[in-house]
Amino acid sequence: MCGIVGAVAQRNVVPILMEGLRRLEYRGYDSAGVAIIDRNHCLARTRSVGKVRDLEARLDAQMDGVTGIAHTRWATHGRPATENAHPHVCRKTVALVHNGIIENHEALRKEQLKLGYEFTSETDTEVVVHEIYRRLEETGDLLAAVRAALPALRGAYALGVITNHEPNRLVAARRGSPLVIGIGIGEHFIASDVAALLPVTQRFVFLEEGDIADITRDAVTIYNAQGERVERPVKQSELSSDAVARGEYRHYMLKEIYEQPRAIADTLENRIGLHHVYDEAFGHGAPAIFESVEAVQIVACGTSYHAGLIGKYWLEGLAGIPCSVEVASEFRYRKPQVARHTLFVTLSQSGETADTLAALAHAQELGFAHTLSICNVPESSLVRGSQLTLMTQAGPEIGVASTKAFTTQLVALLLLVAVLGRRRGLGSDGEARIVGLLRTLPGLVEQVLALDADVQAWVPFFANKQHALFLGRGTQYPVAMEGALKLKEISYIHAEAYPAGELKHGPLALVDADMPVVAVAPNNELLEKLQSNLQEVRARGGELFVFADADNGIREETQTHVIVVPPTNDLLAPIIYTVLLQLLAYHVAVSKGADIDQPRNLAKSVTVE
Ligand code: G6P
C-alpha cells in the first residue's frame, strides 16, 4: 500500500509531486509528505497527518526544487502521525519514500541504535534511510549506497531516494512492490502507478523485481538484481490524463458504477466472434493449454474473491469442469493437493495484491500445470508472472470500493467458461448462447442503471440502521456477499450475507424491525425456495427489501419493498443484480456523509500482507 512519486527535472517539481500524490491517494490516505532538494541544495520536507489536501494546506508556497520525492501513506508499522509519515530523513542528508514492509526492521534498528543513529518514528521504513546514509558515508555515491544497503533488507519495497550531496539524482529500487519510471524530455519521474504521471508523460519503463534505477534529468540507467546493466523497454500508455478524472460525478465510485456498460463492452471487444469466444484473447499458447485443462483453482481477495465464487457455479454448472475457489491469504499458507492438469486462475483488479501474488508464487512451486490471470492493470506484477492473461478493460478504478472491476471480471469468467466448456460438453450451441447473451449485457446494465432513483428511495430505511442482512441463493449468494461488503466498507453499517437456506440455522434469531433484510431474487429455479425463506423473515417482523423480476410473484406490501428489475437471463443475473446493490450501498453511504471513495482504514491496492 502507500503511493510514492518522485521527479528530477529542470522546473520546480513540487506541483508534479502534489498532482502525483492526489492521483495515488487511493493507495493510502492517512498521512502524506514531500521532500525536495531546494535551490540552495538543502533538503526541505513537509509532512502532515490526513489527506493530500491537508499536506497541501501546510505546504510553503515558496517550496521549490528540481529533485524531489513524495508519499501518501496507509499505516502498517506505526500509527498515522506526522512523525511516521514519509519521506524519512537521515541527518539532513538522505530522504527516502518507501512502499512495502521491511520484515527485519527490529534487528536493523537495534544494530543502528548501537551505531548512534537516532530514530524519530515508529516505522519499519526508518531503518532503510539510516542504512543508506551509512553506506553513503562509506561510498560517497548514492547509487552505490543504495546498492550496498539493499541486501540487508528482508521484505518488500519500492523506494525513491535523494540526497543533497547529489542534488540532480534520484535512485529507485523495487522488490515486491510496484514502481514505474516515467520518461520525459529532459526530466524523469517515478511512481507507484502510471496514472500518477499521466499529466507529465505517457512513456513508461516498468521495473522488474530486484531492479535498481539511477535517474537523472538526462538518463535512466537500470541494473538488475545481479547488478548488471540492463535495458528495459519503454512502453507507451494508452491512458489519457483524464481517464482518471471524476468528470461531472460527485464521486469516483458513482462514475465507475455508471461506466459499467462501457467497461463491459470494452472487455468483450475483439474477444468474441459471431458465435464463439476467441481462445487467443487469453494469450499465446492458450488453445493447447485449454485442451489439457481438467480442473480450475481460483484464488483472489476481497471483491475479486466474490467474482471467483460466482465463477465456480458457472465453471462447474456450464463448462462441466471441477473448480475450487479460495481467498489468497489462506491459500498461500496451505499445502493443497494439486490435481493433474489444473489451471490456476488469479483474479485481481490491481494485479499487485500481495497475498494474490504470493499465492501465484506458491502455486508455481506446488506444480500447478498452468496459470492464468484475469486482471485490470496491464504490466502489473500478476500479469507479468502469469502464463496466460485476460485483461478486463474496466479502465482505471479509483474508488476503493470495487465496482466496474468486479462486473468485468464476471464477464471475463464467462469468456473462460465458453472456451473451456466448448471442449467439455457445453457444445457450440451453448457457447453461442453465452456469446449472444453477453452481447446484450451492456444494454441491460444501462436499463438497470435507470432504476437509480428507485434505489435511492430506499435510503431512509437503511441510513439509521446498525446492521443489515443480505440473502441470495445459488449464484446470487456471492452477489449478496458482494452487496454486504459494499455496504459495510463505505457506509460502516455492519452487513452480513447468508445463503437464504441457512437463515433458519442462526441469523433468523437476529431478525427484527431494526434489521433490514435485502434479497436478490431473480426468477430462477431457486425462486420458490427463496420465497419461503423470505416468509420466514416476514413472520418474525423483519422488513424485506427485494430486487426481483416482474413475474416472480413477490409483491410490494407491508414489510416488503420491491424494486422490479428488467427480465434477465439467469446467466447474466449476477451482474445485473450486483449493479443495484452497488447503487444501494453508494446512496446509503452518501446519506450518512461518509467518505465514499476513501473509506476509513482501507486502501485500494493492498500491496502488503
Ligand atoms: C482491497 C480493495 C478491494 C479489492 C481487494 C482485492 O481490499 O479495497 O476493493 O477487491 O483489495 O484487490 P485486487 O486488486 O486484487 O482485486
Give the Cα separation of 363 and 355 in Å (integer).
Answer: 12
Give the Cα separation of 179 and 158 in Å (integer).
Answer: 6
Radius of gyration of the chain (CA): 25
Q: Is 350 in the pocket of ligand 1 (CB under 6 A)?
A: yes
* Angle (nearest 5°) at CA 475 between 469 and 476: 30
Phi, psi torsion values for 520, nearest 5 degrees: -105, 115
Please tell me the residue having the least CA distance from ligand 1 atom 5.
302
Give the Cα separation of 17 and 252 in Å (integer).
Answer: 21
Taking each helix axis as running N to C, give the angle between helix 427-449 and helix 404-422, from 0 to 180 degrees, rounded to the nearest 10: 170
Is pLDDT above 90 for 74? no
Q: What is the dihedral of CA 177, 302, 387, 238, to 10 degrees?
A: -70
For ligand 1, what atom is nearest to the CA of residue 382? Answer: 15
pLDDT score recorded for residue 176? 79
- Exposed / middle / buried, residue 589 (Cβ in 10 Å: 0-12, 13-18, 19+): buried
The predicted model gives 494-500 an average pLDDT of 93
| Distance between Cα 570 and ligand 1 center (Å) | 26
Q: Is 304 in the pocket of ligand 1 (CB under 6 A)?
A: yes
pLDDT band at 59 (very low <50, low <70, confident <90, very high): very high
For ligand 1, what atom is nearest to the CA of residue 301? Answer: 6
Is pLDDT above 70 for 580? yes
Give the Cα separation of 579 and 260 in Å (integer).
Answer: 9
Q: Which of 388-392, 449-453, 532-536 has the lowest mean pLDDT?
A: 532-536
pLDDT score recorded for residue 168? 96
The residue whose CB lies within 8 Å of the most ligand 1 atoms, and thus the one to mutate among 26, 74, 303, 332, is 303
What does each C-alpha distance from 134 to 129, 382, 505 come to in angstroms?
A: 9, 35, 62
Percentage of the chain modeled with pLDDT above 70? 100
Q: What is the pLDDT of residues 253-301, one digit of tens each?
A: 999 999 999 999 999 988 988 888 999 899 889 999 999 999 999 999 9
Give the Cα separation of 66 and 11 in Å (integer).
Answer: 6
What does each C-alpha distance from 440 to 358, 420, 424 come to in angstroms?
A: 37, 22, 25
Contact 164, 37 (CB under 8 A): yes
| Distance between Cα 607 and ligand 1 center (Å) | 10
486 is catalytic: no
Q: Is 485 in the pocket of ligand 1 (CB under 6 A)?
A: no
| Distance between Cα 348 and ligand 1 center (Å) | 7
Comparing C-alpha atoms, which of 160, 166, 191 is closest to residue 98? Answer: 160
pLDDT score recorded for residue 605? 73
- Ordered DSSP codes for 318-366: TS---EEEEEHHHHTT------TTEEEEEEESSS--HHHHHHHHHHHHH
Q: Is 604 in the pocket of ligand 1 (CB under 6 A)?
A: yes
Give the Cα separation of 58 and 60 in Å (integer).
Answer: 6
Q: Is 312 helix (H, G, I), strand (E, B) or coil?
A: helix
Q: Is 135 in the pocket of ligand 1 (CB under 6 A)?
A: no
Q: Which of 348-352, 519-523, 565-569 has the lowest mean pLDDT?
A: 519-523
pLDDT band at 506 (very low <50, low <70, confident <90, very high): confident
What does each C-alpha distance from 361 to 192, 328, 346, 456 come to in angstroms?
A: 22, 11, 11, 44
Q: Return the DSSP state at 515.
A: S
pLDDT score recorded for residue 510? 84
Q: Is 349 in the pocket of ligand 1 (CB under 6 A)?
A: yes
Is pLDDT above 90 for 318? yes
For ligand 1, what atom is nearest to the CA of residue 328? Answer: 15
| Distance between Cα 390 and ligand 1 center (Å) | 18
Location of C-alpha cell 442482512:
469
Contact 33, 74 (CB under 8 A): no
235 is catalytic: no
For the beta sheet containing 494-499, the strands, ordered from the edge strand earlier in sequence to the opposite edge, are: 494-499, 467-472, 517-521, 544-549, 560-565
The residue whose CB lies within 8 Å of the most ligand 1 atoms, and thus the one to mutate among 304, 373, 586, is 304
For ligand 1, what atom is nearest to the CA of residue 400? Answer: 8
Q: Is 353 in the pocket of ligand 1 (CB under 6 A)?
A: yes
Distance from chain centroid for Cα 186: 33
Buried b (16+ CB within 10 A) or exposed e, 475-512: bbbbbbbbbbbbbbbbbbbebbbbbbeebeeebbeebe
pLDDT score recorded for residue 546? 93
Is pLDDT above 70 for 1? no
Q: Is 4 in the pocket of ligand 1 (CB under 6 A)?
A: no
Average pLDDT of the chain, as a whole number:
92
pLDDT score recorded for residue 551? 76
Comparing C-alpha atoms, which of 51, 1, 27 is closest to residue 396? Answer: 27
SS3 content of the chain, % helix, strand, coil (to 5): 40, 25, 35
Q: Return the DSSP state at 59.
A: S
The residue whose CB lies within 8 Å of the most ligand 1 atoms, and thus the one to mutate among 353, 382, 608, is 353
pLDDT score recorded for residue 332? 92
Q: What is the pLDDT of residues 363-375, one digit of tens each?
A: 999 999 899 999 9
Percentage of the chain modeled with pLDDT above 90? 74
0.75 exceeded by pTM = yes
| Distance between Cα 88 and ligand 1 center (Å) | 28
pLDDT score recorded for residue 179? 93
Q: What is the pLDDT of residues 35-47, one digit of tens each?
A: 999 999 999 999 9
* Helices and strands: H and E segment counts in the chain: 19, 25
pLDDT score recorded for residue 303? 97
| Distance between Cα 606 and ligand 1 center (Å) | 7
pLDDT band at 556 (very low <50, low <70, confident <90, very high): confident
Residue 542 or residue 292, greater confidence: 292
Please tell me the residue having the least CA distance from ligand 1 atom 1.
604
Q: Is 602 in the pocket of ligand 1 (CB under 6 A)?
A: yes
